[in-house]
């Protein structure tokens, strides 16, 4: 197993470090909004780009490389130092550039990330092809998600360069939703639907349902993107309804497989299934927000705090659940393959690491789920209470405390798993 700079573990550990640091910035920013003393806007942009590029995109890349290494022969495992260094430099340029409002840094970071698009896309597709359920329709689906990533990069460069100031609003909407919705959300849902059955040692029996899911998801996302660009709430509601139905079908399909597998309990399964459920709930809330906008005047006021709470719960809460679920599966297998050469001893060592990852999993899932949903609760409290209310402040502190508890607990697990070495086994040198 390759290790060091450019190994899957390097991507995963560095991405988690980015996620921890930028999450602290995000939590401080949300607390500042609730207390009526917002932090400088540059910190919010640093949080967004550091989390999405340095954290989530890097960890998705690490999980893809892990899937390739674990599925292939040990003699063909290799490192990707150029991709690793380039991705972190791009994240650093985008985060620091948006914080300092330096367009040159933003452009440089965006161009570097665009230059990494082909190797990123190649490794992600190679990883997905290792899943037994891979088919031509799957290839089309993930090609659409990669188009979303590339489109988001191009639109981001146009925004940073300020070449079309009159189109700034549309470019910003396109940049945000192409990256968050078309790429991150669709790719994560598709990867869960494709990867979870083999992880449960089961196969998808209903091929027609699987095909419908891979067709309806991009159709709904395209409709949502069109609705946002045209400022048409009606189109957004129709597309949201399509996504809602598709997510329900996807969740039901995976729940049925999980039930057939004997309802196995693990940290990875809990987080992946919770991620889909949370996305389904937030899609329902999103449709309710759209209906509220159609009222004149809106039945319930909707401001910046509500938007921040909703987007973070809908996207980051869902994505963080999925990433933690993926890490819960990948880390024990990667560490076992790296540290133990004997197959029988490797299986025993991996099972020991998996037991560590599965400890306190109910608490782990609960703190993350209720912490993210608590952001919505805090925002909804401001409909009847002022920001200075002690109830709003207490709700914010409780929600942030739950999120910090989850991050601390899972970081402790990562540290313990990494520090647990096999007894009587010499670790091979790279």
Q: What pLDDT digit, counting tens, does each position of 74-132 carry?
A: 545 678 899 999 999 999 999 999 888 888 999 999 999 999 999 999 999 999 888 87
Q: Where are the beta strands (DSSP E) in 384-424?
A: none
The arithmetic mean of pLDDT across residues 162-184, rounded, is: 86
Predicted confidence at residue 219, as pLDDT, reads 94
Name the residue range of residue 48's domain: 1-130
User: What is the pTM (predicted TM-score) of this model?
Assistant: 0.90
Predicted confidence at residue 1, as pLDDT, reads 43
Helices and strands (DSSP H and E) totals, the chain: 17, 0
The arithmetic mean of pLDDT across residues 234-255, rounded, is: 91
For residue 35, being part of any structural domain is answered with yes
Tokens for 301?
Answer: 């006021």
Diameter over CA atoms, the chain? 72
Specify the DSSP class assigned to residue 182. I
Single out the residue of 211, 71, 244 nearest to residue 135, CA to CA.
211
Number of domains in the chain: 1
Query: For residue 428, is pLDDT > 50?
Result: no
Tokens for 29?
Answer: 């920013």
Single out the residue of 195, 292, 193 nearest to residue 249, CA to CA.
193
pLDDT band at 73 (very low <50, low <70, confident <90, very high): low
What's the distance, Cα to Cα, between the start and end of the chain in Å? Answer: 7
For residue 347, being part of any structural domain is answered with no
The arithmetic mean of pLDDT across residues 250-255, rounded, is: 87
3 state DSSP class of 80: coil
Residue 63 region by backbone torsions, left for phi larger than 0, else alpha for psi between -120 and 50, else beta: alpha
Residues making up the chain, counted from first to last: 430
- Rounded to 10°, the helix 41-49/81-100 angle is 160
Query: For residue 309, is pLDDT > 60?
Result: yes
Single out the residue of 110, 93, 95 nearest to residue 155, CA to CA.
110
Predicted confidence at residue 58, as pLDDT, reads 94
The arithmetic mean of pLDDT across residues 312-328, rounded, is: 87
Residue 193 region by backbone torsions, left for phi larger than 0, else alpha for psi between -120 and 50, else beta: alpha
Of 1 and 416, more confident? 416
Single out the residue of 323, 281, 84, 70 nearest to residue 192, CA to CA.
323
Among 2-6, 13-17, 100-104, name the most confident range.
Answer: 13-17
Which of 6-20, 293-307, 387-401 is predicted with the least confidence, judged by mean pLDDT?
293-307
CA–CA distance from 102 to each of 42, 67, 99 (Å)?
10, 37, 8
Among 96-100, 132-136, 254-258, name the most confident range.
Answer: 96-100
Predicted confidence at residue 429, as pLDDT, reads 37
Tokens for 406?
Answer: 């989850």
For residue 106, being part of any structural domain is answered with yes
pLDDT band at 424 (very low <50, low <70, confident <90, very high): low
Could you please report the per-residue DSSP string of 80-126?
-HHHHHHHHHHHHHHHHHHHHT-HHHHHHHHHHHHHTHHHHHHHHHH
Predicted confidence at residue 430, as pLDDT, reads 39
Spell out a b/e string for 345-354, using b for 16 or more CB atoms within 10 Å of the CB, else e: bbeebbeebb
Phi, psi of 60 (to 5 degrees): -60, -40
For residue 6, being part of any structural domain is answered with yes
Please classify residue 218 by burial: count the beta carbons closer than 10 Å to its beta carbon, then call 0-12 exposed, 13-18 middle and 19+ buried: buried
Predicted confidence at residue 159, as pLDDT, reads 86
For residue 162, being part of any structural domain is answered with no
Task: Provide, rounded to the nearest whole percent, the portion of the chain with pLDDT above 70.
Answer: 95
Cα 324 from Cα 327, distance rounded (Å): 5
pLDDT band at 205 (very low <50, low <70, confident <90, very high): low
Predicted confidence at residue 63, as pLDDT, reads 93
pLDDT band at 427 (very low <50, low <70, confident <90, very high): very low
Predicted confidence at residue 3, as pLDDT, reads 57
pLDDT band at 306 (very low <50, low <70, confident <90, very high): confident
For residue 121, being part of any structural domain is answered with yes
Please report how many Cα atoms fall inside a 13 Å half-sphere around the Cα of residue 127, on the Cβ side: 25
Q: What is the residue-averaged pLDDT of the chain?
A: 86
Please report how many Cα atoms fall inside a 13 Å half-sphere around the Cα of residue 363, on the Cβ side: 12
For residue 203, being part of any structural domain is answered with no
For residue 398, being part of any structural domain is answered with no
Spell out a b/e string for 394-405, using b for 16 or more CB atoms within 10 Å of the CB, else e: ebbeebbebbeb
């Amino acid at each position: 197993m390759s290790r060091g700079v450019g190994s899957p573990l390097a991507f995963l550990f560095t991405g988690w470090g980015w996620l921890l640091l930028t999450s602290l910035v995000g939590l401080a920013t949300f607390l500042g909004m609730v207390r009526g003393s917002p932090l400088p806007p540059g910190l919010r942009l640093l949080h967004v780009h550091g989390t999405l590029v340095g954290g989530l995109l890097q960890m998705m890349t690490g999980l893809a490389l892990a899937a390739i290494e674990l599925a292939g022969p040990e003699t063909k495992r290799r490192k990707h130092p150029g991709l690793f260094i380039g991705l972190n430099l791009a994240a650093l340029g985008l985060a620091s550039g948006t914080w300092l409002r330096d367009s040159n840094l933003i452009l440089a970071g965006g161009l570097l990330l665009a230059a990494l698009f082909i190797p990123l896309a190649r490794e992600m597709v190679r990883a997905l092809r290792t899943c037994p359920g891979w088919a031509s329709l799957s290839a089309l689906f993930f090609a659409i998600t990669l188009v979303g990533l590339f489109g988001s990069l191009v639109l981001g460069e146009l925004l940073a360069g300020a070449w079309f100031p009159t189109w700034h609003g549309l470019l910003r909407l396109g940049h945000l939703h192409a990256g968050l919705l078309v790429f991150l959300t669709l790719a994560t849902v598709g990867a869960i639907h494709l990867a979870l059955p083999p992880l449960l040692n089961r196969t998808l029996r209903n091929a027609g349902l699987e095909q419908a899911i891979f067709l309806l998801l991009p159709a709904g996302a395209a409709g949502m993107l069109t609705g946002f660009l045209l400022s048409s709430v009606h189109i957004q509601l129709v597309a949201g309804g399509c996504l809602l139905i598709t997510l329900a079908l996807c969740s039901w399909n995976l729940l049925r497989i999980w039930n057939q597998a004997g309802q196995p309990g693990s940290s990875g399964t809990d987080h992946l299934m919770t991620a889909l459920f949370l996305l389904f709930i937030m899609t329902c809330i999103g449709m309710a927000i759209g209906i509220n906008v159609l009222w004149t005047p809106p039945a319930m006021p909707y401001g910046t705090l509500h938007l921040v709470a909703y987007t973070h719960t809908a996207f980051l809460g869902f994505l963080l659940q999925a990433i933690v679920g993926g890490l819960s599966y990948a880390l024990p297998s990667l560490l076992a393959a790296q540290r133990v050469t004997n197959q029988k001893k490797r299986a025993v060592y991996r099972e020991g690491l998996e037991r560590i990852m599965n400890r306190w999993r109910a608490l782990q899932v609960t703190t993350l789920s209720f912490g993210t949903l608590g952001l919505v609760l805090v925002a909804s409290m401001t409909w009847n209470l002022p920001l200075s209310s002690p109830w709003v402040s207490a709700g914010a502190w409780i929600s942030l405390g739950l999120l910090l508890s989850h991050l601390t607990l899972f970081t402790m697990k990562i540290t313990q798993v990494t520090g647990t070495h096999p007894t009587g086994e010499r670790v091979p040198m790279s």
